[in-house]
Amino acid sequence: MAIKKHSIRKSKTGTRTALGKWKTNKTVLVTGASGGIGYDLSSIFAENGYNIVLIARNKEKLLALANQAQQMFGVSARVIVKDLTRPKAAEEIYRDLEREGIIVDILVNNAGYGLLGNFAFTSKKDELEMIQLNISAVAHMTKLFLQPMIKRGRGRILNVASAAGFLPGPLMANYSATKAYVVSFSAGLAEEVRENGVTVSVLCPGPTFTGFQDRAGIRENSFVKLVMADSRVVARAGYEGLMAGKLVIIPGFFNKLGSLIARISPFSLTARSLRRFREPKMLPIVRKLP
């Protein structure tokens, strides 16, 4: 199958890329789709016949994924280049799709990042943008796309949190707190919409291999090799859990065990133990996570 030509349109709200005529398949929107879990989730949805709306900042990677999905699986694709650390970005995405008549059946709030380091000395800008991306953008995107789902009487939402959301997070204090919000928000929202034909799931992976670990040579670190999972495996677990209507999806034995221990251990003891465990292993890798 030949790859269809794409047209790129500049609007006041950013770059929108349309690849061919929109098909009648159900549609999934994935934020943070240019790499890692978001990339793999997008690919898995396309493989299962879903049209895909891809959101991220990297236009080239999104276009490559969109073209691949069209060529291999015959689905429709939209690329919208947006930075969700901008407070207005979610509204712009929603309005773009509304104008084009694209109905989002499944929303995947995957975009997010973390910071390693002592909170007192990390970048203020990065910490505040992380709150915007990991919390505010999740709430804003959900607020916009949930009401149409309820009106249609069907829809699914997958929020990507982290196993860190069950634990206090020394050396990742703000990141862990943002993911705790996503876990709690998802569980509460799932109950609110339980009788409206909409399901809400939250994916809580542990550390996951994505692009920067290879570039940084971190795969050679024995600690990292022990605890990190492959992003494709995590994405597959997220997809299957979502489609099964599962609320909390925790891939991997160690992550399940950690979440269980967190529920029964005092916060102060857990935090102290985690710091002693993490500090010598993680400080050499103090850098932005993808």
Q: What residues are labeled active site?
A: 175
Which two tokens mark 54? 């891809």
Measure the CA–CA gap between 214 and 278, rounded to whole angstroms.
21
- DSSP SS3 for 48: coil
Contact 127, 174 (CB under 8 A): yes
Measure the CA–CA gap between 9 and 132, rounded to whole angstroms.
27
Residue 282 CB contacts under 8 Å (≥ 6 apart), including other chains: 116, 171
Cα 22 to Cα 77, 107, 196: the distances in Å are: 8, 18, 27
Residue 169 one-letter amino acid: G
Contact 135, 181 (CB under 8 A): yes
First to last CA, the chain: 33
The two beta strands, 77-81 and 51-56, are: parallel
- DSSP SS3 for 66: helix
Measure the CA–CA gap between 207 and 8, rounded to whole angstroms.
35
CB 5: neighbour CB atoms within 10 A? 7
